[in-house]
């Protein structure tokens, strides 16, 4: 009786998996890339970047943004109380690139602020309706990055979601970071295509300034340290006003953390905002996560029962479907080297990293944007 119950639970998890892969993730993996035309009348754009002690990254990445193939745009970099040479770097680039608009926030010794304040300063200072966001430690994968994002806009679009990849480096931590990023990216991009947008990443995001003002900026969740990207999208995005940017030209590439401690700190900050999502978002993410753990745990249990052959056959079907969709999606997102290791890394994330983050967020104080 107990074995039959476990097999039934395994089938439930297996079915949830199949539904997500066949009807959600496949939307992204097999969606044809929309080509852009240089003949299009592209609207002017304001790129907004927050920088806090980012001197080396600005030297490395800012030129990639200042040299975009785009007819009219400005780059607003908000220097958020930096103590290094950030302002000197910005002043030097300003001499050569008039489209760069550095802004500076002075430190208040009493009031400590997070990323939302410099972002709000940058947004309210923007001259143009269309806003594009990235980070100081990011670089666009192409000089047509802005065109690719703006190509996703039409008259009804207010938000465009892009994929923010991490640079490829040696080591297991890099594989874990990039696989985690890929899975999250596949999830929010696919759900966006399915009419259920729930988040975006500040490394690669675009929306209208009028939408920001209509939503009263970040005021509804100003008390939360993070959430300037995913919470804003979660509250403002609908199936009618949100699109995704496809193709290698739409990607940004960020500098990955180099050790587990730094990455865990970053993940803790990101995960801490999820409980503030809308109920509909929490429901679908909960169903997906429940099905994933149910499938994995029941599969291991069934290997020691007379259902082991059937469990292996069903697991093989699921794995083949997963690899097929992952392969197509990874080709679009430039992550194909992850495919071979993806089944192993999936287990490491599910039963190593994610439980560790959950426990850490319960036991330790909240994590801020920058210190």
90, 76 Cβ separation under 8 angstroms = no
**pLDDT tens-place string over residues 141-158:** 999 999 999 999 999 999
Euclidean distance between CA atoms 349 and 282, whole angstroms: 20
Euclidean distance between CA atoms 124 and 119, whole angstroms: 9
Cα distances from 245 to residues 32, 38, 160, 229, 314, in angstroms, run 11, 16, 7, 16, 34
Comparing CA positions, the residue from 202, 176, 370 lying closest to residue 263 is: 176
Residue 358 has pLDDT above 90, yes or no: no
**pLDDT tens-place string over residues 163-211:** 999 999 998 999 999 999 999 999 999 999 999 999 999 999 999 999 9
Give residue 275's pLDDT band: very low, low, confident or very high (50, 70, 90).
Answer: confident
pLDDT value of position 13: 96
Comparing CA positions, the residue from 267, 255, 252 lying closest to residue 134 is: 252
Domains and CATH numbers, the chain: 2-28+280-363 (no CATH), 34-270 (3.90.550.10)
Mean pLDDT of the 113-141 span: 95
pLDDT value of position 313: 97
pLDDT value of position 110: 60
Q: Residue 185, class by beta-carbon neighbours within 10 Å (0-12 exposed, 13-18 middle, 19+ buried)?
A: buried
First to last CA, the chain: 55
Cα distances from 66 to residues 47, 48, 52, in angstroms, run 10, 12, 19
* CA-CA-CA-CA dihedral for 328, 334, 339, 341, to nearest 10: -160
- Runs of H (alpha helix) within 194-248: 209-214, 230-236
**pLDDT tens-place string over residues 304-353:** 999 999 999 999 999 999 999 999 999 999 999 999 999 999 998 888 87
**pLDDT tens-place string over residues 23-51:** 999 999 998 766 555 667 999 999 999 99
Please state the φ and ψ torsions of residue 330, each to the nearest 5 degrees.
-65, -30
pLDDT value of position 362: 65
Structure tokens at 30: 């097999």
């Amino acid at each position: 009786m107990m074995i039959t119950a476990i097999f039934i639970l395994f089938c439930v998890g297996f079915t949830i998996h199949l539904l997500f892969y066949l009807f959600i993730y496949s939307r992204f993996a097999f969606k044809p890339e929309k080509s852009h035309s240089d003949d299009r009348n592209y609207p002017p754009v304001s790129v907004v970047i927050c920088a806090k002690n980012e001197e080396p990254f600005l030297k490395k990445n800012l030129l990639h943004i200042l040299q975009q193939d785009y007819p009219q745009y400005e780059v607003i970099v908000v220097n958020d109380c930096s103590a290094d040479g950030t302002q000197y770097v910005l002043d030097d680039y300003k001499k050569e690139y008039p489209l760069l608009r550095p802004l500076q926030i002075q430190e208040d010794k009493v009031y400590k602020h997070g990323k939302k304040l410099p972002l709000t300063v940058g947004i309210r200072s923007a001259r143009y309706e269309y806003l594009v966001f990235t980070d100081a430690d990011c670089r666009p994968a192409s000089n047509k990055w802005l065109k690719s994002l703006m190509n996703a806009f039409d008259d009804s679009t207010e938000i465009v979601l892009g994929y923010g990849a991490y640079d490829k480096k040696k080591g297991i931590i890099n594989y874990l970071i990039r696989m985690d990023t890929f899975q999250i990216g596949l999830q929010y991009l696919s759900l966006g295509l399915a009419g259920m947008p729930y988040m975006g990443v500040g490394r690669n995001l675009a929306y209208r300034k009028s939408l920001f003002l209509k939503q009263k900026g970040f005021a509804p969740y100003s008390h939360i340290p993070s959430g300037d990207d995913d919470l804003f999208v979660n509250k403002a995005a609908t199936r009618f006003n949100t699109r995704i940017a496809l193709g290698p030209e739409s990607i940004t590439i960020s500098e990955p953390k180099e050790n587990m401690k730094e990455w865990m700190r970053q993940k803790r900050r990101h995960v801490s905002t999820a409980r503030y999502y809308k109920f509909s978002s929490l429901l679908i993410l909960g169903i997906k996560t429940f099905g994933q753990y149910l499938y994995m745990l029941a599969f291991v249990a069934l290997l020691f029962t007379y259902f082991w052959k059937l469990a292996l056959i069903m697991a093989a079907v699921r794995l083949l479907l997963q690899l097929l969709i992952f392969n197509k999606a990874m080709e679009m997102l430039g992550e194909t080297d992850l495919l071979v290791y993806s089944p192993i890394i999936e287990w490491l994330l599910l039963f190593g990293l994610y439980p560790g983050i959950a426990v850490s967020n319960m036991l330790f104080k909240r994590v801020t944007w920058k210190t």
